[in-house]
Amino acid sequence: MSPGARKGAAGAAQREDVGEAEVVREYGPFDGAPVHGVSFDGERVWAATGARLVAFDPASGEPVRTLEVACDAGTAFDGRHLYQLAGDRILRVDPTTGAVLGSIPAPEGAGGSGLCWAEGSLWLGRYGERRILRLDPATGAVLRTIESDRFVTGVTWVDGELWHGTMEAGESELRRVDPDGGAVRARLAMPRGVLVSGLESDGAGLFFCGGAASGKVRAVRRPGPAGRTASRARRAGPRGPRRR
């Protein structure tokens, strides 16, 4: 390969897709409380509002369940249980009763932001430290660290892609990053003044974004491979519980 060809190949490998986020729907606010984190169990979207986890139907937007659980940051779902950041702990919660079934320490203490489940692990966003941690869900041990150059809010995986939200200087983005080195592969700028405090995929063509102090959850269209908009078939909405 010629030097010019190698340079071109390297440039293509490092290409960063940049665009604007398309908000397709808003939900809430719920109880007038800020939204600190979001998750999706295949049927319902869960919003962490500080003292309550509120589940709503993404088709109707109507709340369908409320759990009295401390929830000041990210929420995750592993196909059976909810995991909820609460201060310096990660709680494992029965999504039917709200019972706390166990907990593990949150690495680096309080200050966690986003949380998601993928590949048998928890993935934790650290806001102030600007990093994402992969955790052993049984012990909380850190298995991998991915650095960022922005404050990290929500974290989610979909179709082998790692995405996270940012919140900095009154603006937010959704970013797809290389899960090995952390390089940014795509950026979607949220509308000015619209902040992202949590992030979750529906496993198809939408992201659910916590709206921080607005108390809202927003659905944002996810770009398809190579920046193409996800197909209508894959945007049809929630299906059965996900298996990541």
Supply φ then ψ for residue 34, to 5 degrees. -65, 155
pTM for this predicted structure: 0.86
Whether 7 has a pLDDT exceeding 50, the answer reads no
CA distances from 1 to 4, 6, 10, 17, 144 (A): 8, 6, 12, 26, 34
List of long-range contacts for 50-54, beta carbons under 8 Å, 24+ apart: 53/82, 53/84, 53/93, 53/98, 54/30
Per-residue pLDDT reduced to its tens digit, 114-159: 999 999 999 999 999 999 999 999 999 999 999 999 999 999 999 9
For 193, other C-beta atoms within 10 Å of its C-beta total 9
Domain boundaries, the chain: 17-221
**Among 68, 93, 57, residue whose Cα is nearest residue 78:** 93
How many angstroms separate the CA atoms of 111 and 73, rounded?
Answer: 8
Answer whether 51's CB lies under 8 Å from 44's CB. Answer: no
* pLDDT range class, residue 26, cuts 50, 70, 90: very high
Answer whether 120's CB lies under 8 Å from 83's CB. Answer: no
Pick the CATH number of 17-221 from 2.120.10.30, 3.40.50.720, 1.10.10.10, 2.60.40.10: 2.120.10.30
| Amino acid 108: pLDDT | 87
